[in-house]
Chains A and B, each alone.
Chain A
């Protein structure tokens, strides 16, 4: 995802002189392309994220479209008030990009787990929240972030994420992508959790349960239409996200579905605790029941009878 995003950003910057890139002392072997092509629009702002967001706000107030790049929580939590007051309050065109959202840095420990970012960024008025699932969605996210005026948060996975879309998806800001059709249940995922949704859907298929899969690269504003359809067409909606249980995709989906009093809506997410040990993304996710088999089991227990 990281590579696809940066490549697309370089292509956009070629055509749009307003685009700048600021990094918080990260991006070795990744950002050189941008730095070499546009040295006047590139800044390593050092390990100083609060200042970096302030500088980005100043650039945006001077007609630029700055992208701010760092990893995990550093461009989100460390400089939260700068994002809230300087960027969102003033409605500025600052695009905050975090690489390694979710449990990507699994074995690195809780300081490096970006597992409350969607909740925190979604809480900010005027902030759009994008969480692409694969390199295809990531490249789209770069374009969408530029096209959408105002603050945008982009949560990326890592380098070397697999392409999950077997055919080019119809990507549109604020719209879910139907990756698979089905009428027995809907699996809604955001970010790299699409892989889990797709594998769970295959497992369910083999048990005679046809699950629809929606990928939600835009978490805010959420696709009300697609969710309303899901809740009307299928009796069960399961959200799947590499995020803590509070304030993420589940909350966004439930805010749409709950008042409809149509489908049952349950969540599969990470546990509400800092990971207590080292472990890969897969290992730590599985501990929380965030894996294809657990999702399939949850669905089977709720749709009943069929299997």
Chain B
């Protein structure tokens, strides 16, 4: 089943608004992280991924792993908006007794694996892609990683592995917002020239505007696959995208908007408070 009833740009706006409300209510961190990847998630769930909300463990589903698990709020938002569970539940984010933990949890319908410790998603996704390839099935596996997260050596081990095993069903999306936990990514650990590095590792690499739904759609499409090569999409993004006072500011990795800031943020997105 491919969900065609969602329009990516609208979905992106709605899940950004959901995430803002969730993070504000829970006084939680990582709103900048969430807003950075809003368009990527919207395009995946509106136009790319094959899934069945009534059967989250359907064997032919495409796999999506949010490796930067601290962006859980907006992942839960997109899963609820497309119908894996009730959107009313989003208000329980981080609350006592809720399944919606602060980092992506496999207890939540539609979440493949629990993440939160960085650098685990790509190796796991590589295993899923290997199972598909050896099993002769055609589901695809998508892993969304942060650029700071690429500091972890485990990612580069997985990249070597994926090339060796010609895992062309594997797609890594890099949320290249240039910021991480305690500084700018290029200052902390130099990744550039990133595209050339990934190419040298044997991946088919494409750089896109991570807030342009058309570019994302083209890059993520099945027919863009190069036989025998895993695909890397470097999505140039802005941390905090869509909320003027959060854009490009590392403090919004940690801070939570107060009532007034939330109202302004929702107004900027063009949704009601």
Contacts and interface: CB of A to CB of B under 8 A. Distances in A.
Range of interface residues on B (Cβ < 8 Å): 35 or more
Interface of B, helix, strand, loop or mixed by DSSP: loop
B190 to A, nearest CB: 10
Contact of B189 (A48, A74, A105, A108): A48
Contact of A47 (B92, B114, B181, B254): B181
B175 interface: no
Interface string A102-135: 0001011111100000000000000000000000
Contacts of A280: 96
A304 B92 CA distance: 42
Interface string B101-121: 111010100000011111100
Interface stretch (A19-27, A173-181, A196-204, A219-227): A19-27
A108 B116 contact: yes
B267 interface: no
A46 B151 contact: yes
A37 interface: no
Contacts of B151: 25, 46-48
Given A25-B182, A44-B182, A46-B188, A108 B103 contact: yes
B102 A108 contact: yes
Interface stretch (A55-63, A229-237, A252-260, A271-279): A271-279
A301 interface: no
B101 A44 contact: no
Interface string B169-204: 000000000001111000011000000000000000
A283 B119 contact: no
A51 B154 CA distance: 11
Contacts of B117: 73-74, 78, 111
A116 to B, nearest CB: 14
Interface in A26-55: 26-29, 31, 44, 46-48, 50-51
A47 B119 contact: yes
A28 B253 contact: yes
A25 B183 CA distance: 8
B122 to A, nearest CB: 13
Interface residues of A, number: 29
Contact of B116 (A23, A78, A109): A109
A78 B118 CA distance: 10
Interface string B70-114: 000000000000000000000011111111111101010000001
Contacts of B93: 278
Interface centre among B118, B119, B148, by most chain A C-beta atoms within 10 angstroms, is B118
Given A48-B189, A108-B102, A28 B182 contact: yes
A108 B73 CA distance: 11
Binding site secondary structure of chain A: loop
Interface in B8-22: none
B55 interface: no
Nearest to A71: B181
Contacts of B153: 48, 50-51
A298 B142 CA distance: 50
B176 to A, nearest CB: 15
B116 A112 contact: yes
A27 B95 CA distance: 25
B226 to A, nearest CB: 29
Given A23-B182, A46-B148, A47-B119, A28 B114 contact: no
A111 B115 contact: yes
B152 interface: yes
B257 interface: no
B181 to A, nearest CB: 4
Given A47-B151, A51-B153, A110 B97 contact: no
B80 to A, nearest CB: 15
B149 interface: yes
Given A111-B114, A277-B107, A280-B96, A28 B254 contact: yes
A103 to B, nearest CB: 12
B69 interface: yes
B102 A47 contact: no
A25 B188 contact: yes
A29 B253 CA distance: 12
B188 A44 contact: yes
A198 to B, nearest CB: 24
B250 interface: yes
A110 B98 contact: no
B26 interface: yes
Nearest to B114: A111
B250 A276 contact: no
Given A25-B180, A278-B101, 15 more contacts: A25-B183, A26-B181, A44-B182, A44-B183, A46-B151, A47-B118, A48-B151, A48-B153, A48-B189, A73-B117, A105-B102, A109-B102, A111-B115, A279-B98, A280-B96
8 contacts: A27-B182, A47-B118, A47-B181, A78-B117, A107-B94, A110-B114, A111-B117, A279-B97
Closest 10 pairs between A and B when the two form their complex, measured CB to CB: A111-B116, A109-B101, A46-B151, A108-B102, A25-B181, A46-B189, A107-B94, A47-B151, A283-B96, A48-B151
Interface of A: 23, 25-29, 31, 44, 46-48, 50-51, 73-74, 78, 105, 107-112, 276-280, 283
